[in-house]
């Protein structure tokens, strides 16, 4: 299978390229320097020469405050970019796997969202991603739209320009010994390794459609931090932050837990409990840190 991954140096893109390469698929990653999804000409030129069977789009403008400040740019990347990819992949006869978000919901339901639930985004980011979903679903029949949430993984999220949540929490614990975290937003933490595995699994099947694709279960950011500190045996004074301590400028859903009901119905759900995925991430990070220690720094007596 010939696979093209767009956003190849991003948090999800890097995990997806690795997952396809491990399966010995012919995978080509495209960075922003190599394709501009906002431009139809750029999309046509990049994909026509590669003639892929499957295109995975991880590219987006997804920093929520930035989207709110620049709605035209957000619409161009998240909606028109998705439209361009849907049209070009359709003309090439290729499948399109497109990543969307839990922020298409308003959070009022208070119970895990199913694919059938009506979306109602609260901000520009969510609205532009929802429009992107509709373009993909209506323009290329061979599509998978995967809504995911609260991602973390080995590679930093380029759009948010920093450390992922677990790494940031561990850094704050080390530096300050005291960490305050909000408990007012409930999400399904999702490992990029599991998401990449899900994408690879779907790439060769033809059960096209819209799917929720997140770690199993849910927690507040505070619970996430508590689980992390327990798993790493980190001694830290963890406290719940007050309601106005970290004021958000843009409305977000307070509850955006997704149920992977479509994937479970197909028998193809690749996600385990979020706590297990977090422990696996920590184990791999630890192995990697050990393997990065130069051999000559360890002295035997």
The residues binding ligand NAP (CB under 6 A) are: 6-7, 9-13, 31-32, 35-38, 58-62, 77, 81, 99, 101, 129, 148-151, 157-159
The question of whether 125 is a catalytic residue gets the answer yes
Question: Of 35 and 236, which CB lies nearer to ligand NAP in the complex structure?
Answer: 35
Question: Of 95 and 236, which CB lies nearer to ligand NAP in the complex structure?
Answer: 95
CA dihedral 279, 280, 282, 284 (to 10 degrees): 160
> Rounded to an integer, what distance in angstroms lies between the CA atom of residue 109 and that of residue 117?
9
> Rounded to an integer, what distance in angstroms lies between the CA atom of residue 296 and that of residue 251?
52
Question: Of 75 and 236, which CB lies nearer to ligand NAP in the complex structure?
Answer: 75
CA distances from 1 to 16, 43, 59, 272 (A): 14, 20, 21, 27
Question: Of 232 and 256, which CB lies nearer to ligand NAP in the complex structure?
Answer: 256
Question: Of 12 and 88, which CB lies nearer to ligand NAP in the complex structure?
Answer: 12
Q: Containing H/E element for 15?
A: helix 11-22
CB of 200 to ligand NAP, least distance (A): 16
CB of 102 to ligand NAP, least distance (A): 6
Nearest residue to the partner ligand NAP, using Cβ: 10
Asked if 198 and 255 count as a contact pair (C-beta separation under 8 A), the reply is no
> Pairing mode, if any, of strands 2-6 and 26-30?
parallel
CB of 266 to ligand NAP, least distance (A): 21
Asked if 210 and 97 count as a contact pair (C-beta separation under 8 A), the reply is no
> Pairing mode, if any, of strands 26-30 and 54-57?
unpaired
Nearest to 170 by CA among 238, 269, 243, 260: 238
CB of 166 to ligand NAP, least distance (A): 12
Of the candidates 75, 103, 113, 125, the residue annotated as catalytic is 125
CB of 11 to ligand NAP, least distance (A): 4
Q: Which residues are designated catalytic?
A: 125
């Amino acid at each position: 299978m010939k696979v093209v991954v767009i956003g190849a140096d991003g948090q999800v893109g890097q995990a997806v390229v690795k997952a396809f390469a491990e399966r010995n698929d012919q995978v080509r990653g495209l960075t922003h320097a190599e394709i501009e999804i906002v431009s139809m000409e750029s999309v046509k030129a990049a994909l026509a020469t590669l003639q892929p069977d499957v295109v995975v789009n991880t590219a987006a403008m997804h920093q929520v405050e930035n989207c709110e400040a620049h709605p035209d740019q957000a619409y161009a990347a998240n909606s028109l970019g998705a439209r361009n990819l849907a049209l070009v992949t359709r003309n090439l006869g290729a499948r399109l796997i497109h990543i969307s978000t839990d922020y298409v919901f308003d959070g009022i339901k208070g119970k895990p969202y199913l694919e059938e639930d009506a979306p109602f985004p609260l901000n520009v980011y969510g609205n532009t991603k929802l429009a992107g979903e509709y373009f993909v679903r209506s323009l290329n029949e061979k599509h998978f739209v995967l809504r995911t949430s609260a991602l973390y993984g080995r590679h930093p999220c380029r759009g948010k320009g920093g450390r992922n949540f677990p790494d940031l929490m561990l850094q704050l614990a080390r530096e300050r010994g005291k960490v305050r975290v909000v408990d007012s937003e409930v999400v399904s933490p999702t490992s990029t390794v599991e998401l990449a595995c899900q994408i690879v699994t779907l790439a060769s099947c033809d059960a096209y459609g819209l799917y929720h694709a997140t770690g199993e279960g849910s927690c507040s950011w505070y619970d996430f931090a508590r689980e992390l500190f327990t798993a790493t045996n980190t001694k830290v004074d963890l406290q719940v932050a007050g309601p106005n301590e970290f004021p958000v400028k843009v409305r977000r859903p307070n509850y955006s837990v997704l149920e992977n009901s479509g994937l479970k119905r197909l028998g193809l759900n690749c996600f385990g409990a979020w706590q297990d995925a977090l422990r696996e991430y920590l184990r791999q990070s630890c192995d990697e840190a050990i393997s990065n220690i130069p051999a000559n720094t360890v002295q035997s007596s």
